[in-house]
Structure 1
Amino acid sequence: MTARTAEISRDTKETQISVSVNLDGTGQYDVDTGIGFLDHMLEGFSRHSLIDLKVRCTGDLHIDGHHTTEDVGIVMGMAVAKALGDCKGITRFGHAYIPMDETLSRASLDVSKRPYLIWKVCFTRDKLGEMDTELFREWFHAFAMNAGITLHVENLYGENNHHIVESCYKALARSLRMAVAVDPREGGAMPSTKGVL
């Protein structure tokens, strides 16, 4: 099987980002976005998806974390899409329920090349660490649009905001791990009756 890896760099006046991924990795990560809480989420994403992930970002954090968060989502999504290539032989669909103490979140996704995000997650705090909680939706949207996936993320219940968002990232990780897995029964075929995604 051809290695499912990719490296993407993207430089703008707001951020300079490089990302490398290995979809068939072991969950090794090396992440530095300049936002501690985002790093924590991406490390968990890598560990639970088993996608090896390296992220380097220098962004305009003297303004706020918006550009860094969104642009990291964009480049990570681009890298996953590139590593997937034509998507032949993959499972395509994935889902996961992730409990964290009092919290339960769910992610369902389709590697469809028809990007979409449903985000049913609410927070009762404006910040976690130095990160604005409104930026989590921006990251998930940017990632889904650029990875070419239909992604539904829902927090079913919970009280602790840290648990809520962390369970969402882990649910994405586990559902993506399922969806990008190569199914030997597919025999390398396109996972669609159309013959193309």
Structure 2
Amino acid sequence: MSRYAERTRETKETLVEVKLEIDGNGEVKIDTPVSFFNHMLHSMLFYMSSNSSVLAKDKQGFDDHHVVEDVGITLGQSFKEAIGDKRGIKRFSSIVVPMDEALVLVALDISGRGFASVDLDLKREKVGDLSTENVPHFFWSFSVNSGVTLHIRKLSGFNEHHVIEAAFKGVGLALREACTIQDNLVRSTKGSL
């Protein structure tokens, strides 16, 4: 069974193309106009062990908001399609990721109910060319469109590059574990996800 999806989202502001194969080996291609976001997406999808491609163009050039949001939406929709009926998946995962002085907790549930609660206590306005306010916005856009309940908490850390990168790596690692197929059961007392 191949868990794969391709999605394109085009608006007056952006053009986003995503290819996502959940069961891969971490072959990732990222090309958006936001360099630090490219670095973070690469980390997330690599640690998810997906084979994936994310290409995005900014048609207006206002700032990084529309690219980050539309990539989150398109990647979330791709994940939702690729994961299918969720039969046999582990469903839940949590992980604590260290990156030097930073320590970040990620917990998620592939429940079908998209929600994100992100508390990274970011103080800087930007890291590289990525507005830090768009970090939680990306995770919200991804979660709502993927049907994943996601919680991210900074436990410690002062280098915001490290904190953000630990969050993206943690989401990738947790998605990888939660996507693992254990059997042929639907992991829900309701009988469906």
The residue aligned with 1:155 is 154
The residue aligned with 1:193 is 189
SS at match of 2:144: helix
CA distance in 2, matches of 1:61, 1:128: 21
Pairing 1:1-197 to 2, within 5 Å after superposition: 2-60=1-59, 62-183=61-182, 186=183, 188-197=184-193
Partner letter of residue 178 of structure 1? Answer: E
Partner letter of residue 195 of structure 1? Answer: G
Does the C-alpha gap of structure 1 residues 96 and 61 become closer, same or farther in structure 2, counting only changes over 3 Å? farther
Q: Is the contact between residue 60 and residue 67 of structure 1 (CA under 8 Å) also seen in structure 2?
A: no
Q: CA deviation at 1:122?
A: 1.3
CA distance in 2, matches of 1:52, 1:58: 21
CA distance in 1, matches of 2:60, 2:167: 24
CA distance in 2, matches of 1:36, 1:120: 23
Q: Is the contact between residue 29 and residue 53 of structure 1 (CA under 8 Å) also seen in structure 2?
A: yes
SS at match of 2:23: coil
CA distance in 2, matches of 1:19, 1:10: 9
Does the C-alpha gap of structure 1 residues 120 and 113 become closer, same or farther in structure 2, counting only changes over 3 Å? same
Q: Is the contact between residue 80 and residue 146 of structure 2 (CA under 8 Å) also seen in structure 1?
A: yes
Q: Is the contact between residue 13 and residue 60 of structure 2 (CA under 8 Å) also seen in structure 1?
A: no
Structure 2 unaligned spans of 5+: none
SS at match of 1:19: strand
CA distance in 2, matches of 1:34, 1:55: 11
SS at match of 2:172: helix
Q: CA deviation at 1:61?
A: 5.6
CA distance in 1, matches of 2:60, 2:28: 22
Q: Is the contact between residue 30 and residue 38 of structure 2 (CA under 8 Å) also seen in structure 1?
A: yes
State the TM-score, normalizing by the size of structure 2: 0.98
Structure 1 unaligned spans of 5+: none
Q: Is the contact between residue 36 and residue 129 of structure 1 (CA under 8 Å) also seen in structure 2?
A: yes
Runs of 4+ in 1 over 3 A off after TM superposition: none
Partner letter of residue 55 of structure 1? Answer: V
Percent identity of the aligned residues?
A: 37
Partner letter of residue 38 of structure 1? Answer: F
Q: CA deviation at 1:60?
A: 3.7
Q: Is the contact between residue 15 and residue 59 of structure 2 (CA under 8 Å) also seen in structure 1?
A: no
Q: CA deviation at 1:195?
A: 1.0
